Amino acid sequence: MTIFKPSPEVADALATGKPVVALESTIITHGMPYPQNLEVARAVESDIRGYGAVPATMVVIEGTLHVGLTDAQLETLAQSKGVAKLSRADMAACMASGGTGATTVAATMIAARLAGIDVFATGGIGGVHKGAEHSFDVSADLLELAQTPVTVVAAGAKAILDIPKTLEVLETQGVPVIAFGQRDMPAFWSRSSGLPAPLRMDSAAQIAAAHRMRAALGLPGGQLVANPIPQAHEIDRATMGPIIARAQQDAGDHNITGKDVTPYLLQRIYELTEGRSLTANIGLVQNNARLAAEIATALSKAAVGA
Ligand code: PSU
Ligand code: MN
Q: Which atom of ligand 1 is nearest to the CA of 129?
A: 19
Ligand 2 centroid – CA 146 distance (Å): 17
Q: Kindly tell me the number of DSSP H helices and DSSP E strands found in the chain.
A: 13, 11
Q: How many residues does the chain have?
A: 306
- Using a CB cutoff of 5 Å, list residues around ligand 2, an ion: 137
Q: Is the dihedral of CA 114, 118, 124, 125 positive or negative?
A: positive
pLDDT for the residue numbered 159? 81
304, 170 contact by CB (below 8 A): no
Q: Is the CB of 158 under 6 A from ligand 1?
A: yes
Distance of alpha carbon 110 from its chain centroid, rounded? 12
Task: Please give the span between the terminal C-alpha atoms of the chain, in angstroms, as a whole number.
Answer: 33
Residue 87, φ and ψ in degrees, nearest 5: -125, -170
Q: Which atom of ligand 1 is nearest to the CA of 188?
A: 7
pLDDT single digits (tens) 241-276: 999 999 999 999 999 999 999 999 999 999 999 888
Q: Environment class of residue 51 by beta-carbon count within 10 Å: exposed (0-12), middle (13-18) or buried (19+)?
A: middle
pTM for the full predicted model: 0.96
Q: Is the CB of 31 under 6 A from ligand 1?
A: yes
C-alpha neighbours within 13 Å on the C-beta side of residue 303: 17
Q: Is the CB of 140 under 6 A from ligand 1?
A: yes
Phi/psi class of residue 151: alpha, beta or left (left: φ > 0; alpha: ψ in -120 to 50)?
beta
Give CA–CA dist 254/246, Å, rounded: 12
The residues assigned a catalytic role are: 24, 158
C-alpha neighbours within 13 Å on the C-beta side of residue 186: 29
Ligand 2 centroid – CA 138 distance (Å): 5
CB within 8 Å of 2: residues ≥ 6 apart: 64
Proportion of the chain in helix, strand, coil states, percent, rounded to 5 = 50, 15, 35
Domains and CATH numbers, the chain: 1-117 (3.40.1790.10), 124-306 (3.40.1790.10)
pLDDT for the residue numbered 226? 98
Q: Is the CB of 127 under 6 A from ligand 1?
A: no
Per residue, the 3-state secondary structure of 191-227, as one string, reads CCCCCECCEEECCHHHHHHHHHHHHHCCCCCCEEEEC
C-alpha neighbours within 13 Å on the C-beta side of residue 204: 17
Ligand 1 site-directed mutation target among 28, 104, 169, 266, most atoms within 8 Å of CB: 104
Q: Which helix (H) or strand (E) holds 99?
A: none
DSSP string, 145-185: HHHS--EEEESB--TTB-HHHHHHHHHHTT--EEEESSSBP
The Cα-based distances of 80 to 36, 75, 153 in angstroms read: 14, 9, 26
Q: Is the CB of 228 under 6 A from ligand 1?
A: no
pLDDT for the residue numbered 305? 56
pLDDT for the residue numbered 275? 86
DSSP code for 89:
T
Q: Environment class of residue 242 by beta-carbon count within 10 Å: exposed (0-12), middle (13-18) or buried (19+)?
A: exposed
Residue nearest to atom 11 of ligand 1 (CA): 104
153, 295 contact by CB (below 8 A): yes
Mean pLDDT by 10 residues, the chain (306 residues): 91 97 97 93 96 98 97 96 96 97 98 98 96 95 98 93 97 98 96 96 98 97 98 90 94 95 93 89 96 98 70
